[in-house]
Structure 1
Amino acid sequence: MAIEQTAGGPGTPEQTRIHDIGYRNYDGPRLGRAYARRSLFSQSLRGAYGLGRSAKSKVLPIVLFIVIAAPALIMIAVAVTTKAHDLPIHYTRYAIYLQAVIALFLASQAPQSVSRDLRFRTVPLYFSRPIEHTDYVRAKFAAMASALFILTATPMVILYVGALLAKLDFSTQSKGFLQGLVSVAVLSVLFAGIGLVIAAVTPRRGFGIAAVIAAMTIPYGAVSTIQAIAYDQGTEGAVQWLGLFSPITLVDGFGTAFLGGDSSAPGGLGPDTGVGFVYLIVILALIAGCYGALARRYRKVGL
């Protein structure tokens, strides 16, 4: 419908005409917040691997995916060729050894997920639809965690399938495989929260990338150095507590305490079960804190 007002002649009031130009109200199904949240999750997950984006955007995720999967393929080839009785590495240790690849993936994709929305000021457009700021945060958080889980769980699957093809013990490999999946699931959620919080602080993607890399590498380097010094000086009790101050050593300590993994700490001095519960509490607190920080950040952006 269109309304047109025309002026009449001298002394004649304005006349109003209504024209039917063919527009109709939408009378189809209204899918609501749940559909919008799922769509945002799907779009963000695809974007983490460059799907639906330019060819240049696909290069780094694909390269990192190949890099993190290649050692698993090599290990399986060696195990099959040498007829080994076990894998050269425990499932829970794989992600720890390749933490640099995971950190680089997180640093490149977390800013892509949230910084561009801030830079181009598209976040308020999301909230103009039937979606709340908590829906946006949940979708982005779940998408980043899922992208990291796909990245880190794929080598677990390769190791497990290869171990069965090499006719290694089924029960031992199945138990290790499940422990590895739990370990990378915890790592994925924790790293996703940290990466998104850092990336959401600035709309500049370059700053976000540098900040995420620093947050993943500097604490680990500092903690590892101090742990080595403490071990050399005979204060071995401090080694397991120092692991609380770095994301990667938190995941490593959790795997050591509850999933039967070997610790990467000096002398293999990982936390026992009692200290392991402290690790678990710190991990859960960090995840909850990251979610709360993101929700608060996007509550302000929405306004």
Structure 2
Amino acid sequence: MSSPSERPARPPAGTGVIHDLGYRRYTGPRLGEPAVARAFFLSGLRHTYGLGRSGRSKVLPMLLLGLMLLPALILVGVLVQARDLLGLDEQLVAYSTYPITTQLLISVFVASQAPALISRDLRFRTITLYLARPMRRRTYVLVRLASLTVATFVLIGAPLLLMYVGGVLADLPLTRETGRFLGGLVGAALLAACLAGLAAVVAALTVRRGLAVTAVIVVLLVSFTLVSTVQGVAASTDHDTVGRIAGLFSPYTLVNGVQVFLFDSPAATATPPEGTAMGLLYLLGVLAVVLGSIVALLVRYRRVD
């Protein structure tokens, strides 16, 4: 043992000692908020399809993507192989109606991935790390919403691209087919923005993922069922105006109405919009859903500590 005289003197009370542990200081460039937002967007987009996560996280999104492509692949096969036999001169299913035909798959995808991006951050409090400098709350909301929107657009647009390639291989009129395909892509982008916005708002209201998934599915599917019922009754009783107004209350019928108005696409509802006034009302409806979702998310995250 060392003697008391050999022990180091203690610092006076109220003072401290700074030890140099040899850590290097960062002297490189500080990229700031844009670089953080870009990396955050890419990581969110990858996570929606399970990339960079466990194998279990990949099963559902990849399965849904495969199921979305399967009907399109069958339609392309029939079109290419039996066009002359069946006398086909256009797609068996229009680009504008394909998302409504597969709406169950799309709704399940959005309902499962919105809580994974939104509710998880609130539940595990990782939101406090993300909102540290230099990323602001507004940036967090917009980037998360962009990741979910682009992921949903990929899910909807991939089968449309497959159908377009099949139509070109089947020697359908190139100019006409390209115009319809581009109209379908615009509709896919609008639908993705509406679905992602609504799902993100619902997911931000609860930290329980199971509850958020159920709530999103109910909001999307029940609204479409109710609107379709009202439109069917309105069409059979010659109250088309009621049916057209009802189409504003489901993102699927709303976006299909915009495609009918802008691109003269085939209608997927019994009472599509007619006239400039009703078409503009549908456009305003899409704008209200997207901007309203952003505003609702910004208000929600103002109250997050």
Is residue 255 of structure 2 the alignment partner of residue 251 of structure 1?
yes
Q: Give RMSD over aligned pairs.
A: 1.9
**Structure 1 counterpart of 2:290:** 287
Shift of 1:270: 3.6
Report the counterpart of residue 73 of structure 2 in structure 1: 73
Instruction: Calculate the TM-score normalised by the size of structure 1.
Output: 0.92
Distance in 2, matches of 1:166 and 1:231, equals 36
Equivalent position SS for 2:97:
helix
Name the structure 2 match of 1:168.
172
* Greater mean alpha carbon deviation, residues 89-98 or residues 104-113: 89-98
User: Between Structure 1 and Structure 2, how many residues are aligned?
Assistant: 294
1:232 aligns to 2:236 (yes or no):
yes
The answer to whether residue 137 in structure 2 is matched with residue 133 in structure 1 is yes
Deviations 1:261-291 (A, max 9, x none): 222222x544333201001101101111100
For 1:82, the equivalent position in structure 2 comes to: 82
Residues in 2 aligned to 1:176 and 1:263: alpha-carbon distance in whole angstroms? 13
Contact 1:239–1:265, Cα closer than 8 Å, also in 2: no
For 1:110 and 1:16, locate their aligned partners in 2 and report how far apart those are by CA, in whole Å: 49
Residue 156 in structure 1 maps to residue 160 in structure 2 = yes
Q: Deviations over 1:136-180 (max 9, x none)?
A: 011101100000111111111101111111111110111111001
Q: CA deviation at 1:6?
A: 4.3
- Corresponding residue number in structure 1 for 2:27: 27
How high is the TM-score relative to the length of structure 2?
0.92
SS of corresponding position for 1:92 = coil
Unaligned runs of at least 5 residues, structure 2: 1-7
Pair 27,241 (structure 1): closer, same or farther in 2 beyond 3 Å: same
The answer to which of 219-228 and 202-211 deviates more is 219-228
**Cα distance, 1:294–1:18 mapped onto 2, change above 3 Å:** closer
Distance 1:18 1:108 in 2: 50
Question: Given that residues 96 and 267 in structure 2 are in contact (C-alpha distance below 8 angstroms), is that contact kept between their aligned partners in structure 1?
Answer: no
Distance 2:206 2:81 in 1: 50
Which consecutive unaligned segments of at least 5 residues does structure 1 have? none
- Classify 1:87/1:27 alpha carbon distance in 2 versus 1 (closer, same or farther; 3 Å): same
Cα deviation for residue 21 of structure 1 reads 2.6
